[in-house]
Amino acid sequence: MTMELLNKIDSPADLKKLPVEQLPQIASELRAFILDTVSKLGGHLGSSLGATEITIALHYAFDTPKDRLVWDTGHQTYGHKVLTGRRGRMSTIRQFGGLSGFLKRSESEYDAFGAGHASTAISAALGMAVARDLKGEKNKVVAIVSDGCMTGGESYEGLQNAGQVQTDLIVVLNDNQMFISSRVGALGAFLSKLLTLGAVRNAEHSIKTFLARFQFWGGSILRVAKRAKVLLFPGMLFEEMGFSYFGPVDGHDVEQLAQVFKHVKQLKGPVLVHCVTKKGKGYPQAEADPYTWHGPGKFDVATGQFLKAPVSKTPPPAYTAVFSQALLREAEADPRIIGITAAMPEGTGLDALRDRFPRRYFDVGLAEGHCVTFAAGLACEGYKPVVAVYSSFIQRAYDQVEHDVCLQKLPVILCLDRAGLVGEDGPTHHGVFDFSLLRMLPGMTVMAPADENELQHMLRTALRFDGPVSIRYPRGSGVGVAMDAQAKELPIGKGVRLKDGCDVTILAVGNRVHPALEASQLLEDQGISCGVVNMRFVKPLDVELLKECASKTPRLVTVEDNALQGGFGSAVLEALTPGRAEVLRLGIADHFVEHGAPHLLYDALGLSADKIAQRVAAWVPGKSRTLI
């Protein structure tokens, strides 16, 4: 498709010059541009396609960036980036040094609020609206929220407060019937239940009674009344919270949307506009399978076939798949095992448990805090709950982990997928804080497998341990080690020596163990005798093994893909007697890591095998040399 109109738009001001009748053409061109961009790079497709008309209408009706658009999560904002002067850089999106795949205040004045996690938009927008009032300004503030984000408690906290404050605020609910996976407990389901309750049921009866007087319409009018119930009352919840409700509105009729937005921006007080959309709109494959096309890799637009780089051999299984199968085997043997996720069944691998044991599987929606406390309640009653969640999302439940799990010493298992650097999703999704966050909590056991085989053993160990446990593992394929036929229990708090050395010992944990082994060989080639230890546990730490290593070599190196502050290296320093050994800590310094391919990021941070070897060689006195 030629971009006859889109190529002329470098800002929302250019968009506003068009007559409203040309907006559908812009929508078609923008949708084609997004498809072409994502097909070449991968990225978030379905949500951005579904929000195309909403995006255009918002920038057409409002005076951005003076009027603030606050997007929830950021999955739906590729069109927003294109229309706000970043069309020429979209070929760099999610690439190292390129555009972020999410919202980023430092990237554009049109990104009013940074977002990569869900359910933040309403609260942030309300804060901006109150700040506007305090400054005596007149700009508009709009929060654009998907229905999936409404499963997060913070969204309702924001709605409640907005209804109380009663300042001018517009919330656009993008209701696409789905978030990343099929929504569970989301707004639509809640309203469906609401529509069966007292006031609405009575209203429906009144409508039927009224219309029944007009006998000449016959029974068909009662079917209309049934539909009228849904059309007239879905906004009841929001009206009760202090919002003026408008909708449902066709979220793909861009001309109508532009008119609706121009109307509601004149209204006073909190307003909610309910737009019904289709995730993946305009691309049949994405409409039919919104989960697969939520964040696809490279693909051929014409055929919908994914483009995969040729491989000489079958890649190792992904950590998520290993966890999924290991949990299923354990659940088949133990009926007390329960799987819980926060709207990520496929992403965390719990879909296998869901399909095999549906009554022992729970998706609580985007509500990580509830997820953990729900698990704590199950543990109180003798069950073995396994909470599968991304590492960066467990941060949203930190209080619940501390107060509801650790304080009560409950055997809840946190399986933290996407730990370490996750690549193109960037700083909002890198899982580089869980060691620091969790090891400080009394009673928490913190472990990290070096490879996919150790993962199945650690899950078995956690399920047989009577206390809180976290297991963190990375995104993507395993190392390629042989898998033991049977999982086994590991001794709690015990590491394993992989290689002896006399000049230096590398103490590694998690997915940095195998790069540490590679680095040790590079060091040996340079004449530096380097030992390697797989510590396995960050807490409890194997202090006895630490002391043995310190007595064998005068220098210890800790390697982790976690923040250095409060992480594994800090734990080693705390455990060693001062002066017992020199310690070099390698990890992530006090900054957020940007997006990019993981191998580029690990190299830039000095955590690849080559860079580990270089840093160690430069640190060992008298043996510093350049490694080739």
Q: Are 281 and 31 in contact (CB under 8 A)?
A: yes
Which amino acid makes up residue 406?
C
Q: 271: helix, coil or strand? A: strand
Half-sphere exposure of 210 (CA within 13 A, CB side): 9
Is residue 614 scored above 50 in pLDDT? yes
The Cβ of residue 625 has, within 10 Å, a number of other Cβ atoms equal to: 12
pLDDT tens figures, 62-112: 999 999 999 988 788 999 999 999 999 999 999 999 998 889 999 999 999
Q: What percent of the chain has pLDDT over 70?
A: 89
pTM of the model: 0.83
Let me know: does 3 contact 26? Beta carbons within 8 Å: no
Q: Which of 155-159, 424-428, 587-591 has the highest mean pLDDT?
A: 587-591
**Residues recognised as catalytic:** 279, 368, 396
CA 157 to chain CA centroid, nearest Å:
20
β-strands 270-276, 169-175 pairing:
parallel
Cα 42 to Cα 170, 262, 265, 557, 601: the distances in Å are 32, 35, 36, 37, 18
* 302 to 280, 283, 306: CA distances (angstroms): 15, 10, 11
For 211-264, write each residue's pLDDT tens digit.
444 444 444 444 444 444 444 455 777 888 889 888 788 899 999 999 999 999
Per-domain residue ranges of the chain? 6-180+241-288, 319-472, 496-619
- The residue count of the chain comes to 628
* Residues 168-198 pLDDT 10s: 999 999 988 644 344 444 444 444 344 333 4
- Number of alpha helices (DSSP H) and beta strands (DSSP E) in the chain: 26, 17
pLDDT mean over 491-510: 97
319-472 with 496-619: one CATH topology? Answer: yes
For domain 319-472, is the CATH number 3.30.70.2740? no
Two tokens at 476? 């993507």
Q: Which CATH number, 3.40.190.10, 1.10.8.640, 3.10.310.10, 3.40.50.920, labels domain 496-619?
A: 3.40.50.920
CATH 3.40.50.970 fits 6-180+241-288, yes or no: yes
Q: Which of 206-215, 379-388, 426-435, 520-529 has the lowest mean pLDDT?
A: 206-215
Mean pLDDT in residue range 339-366: 95
- Average confidence score pLDDT of the chain: 88
Q: How confident is the model at residue 310 (pLDDT cuts 50, 70, 90)?
A: low
Q: What is the predicted pLDDT for the residue at 217?
A: 43
Asked whether 69 and 80 are in contact (CB, 8 A), the reply is yes
Work out the percent of the chain whose per-residue pLDDT is above 90: 69
What is the pLDDT, as a whole number, of residue 261?
A: 94
Pair type for strands 469-472 and 530-534:
unpaired
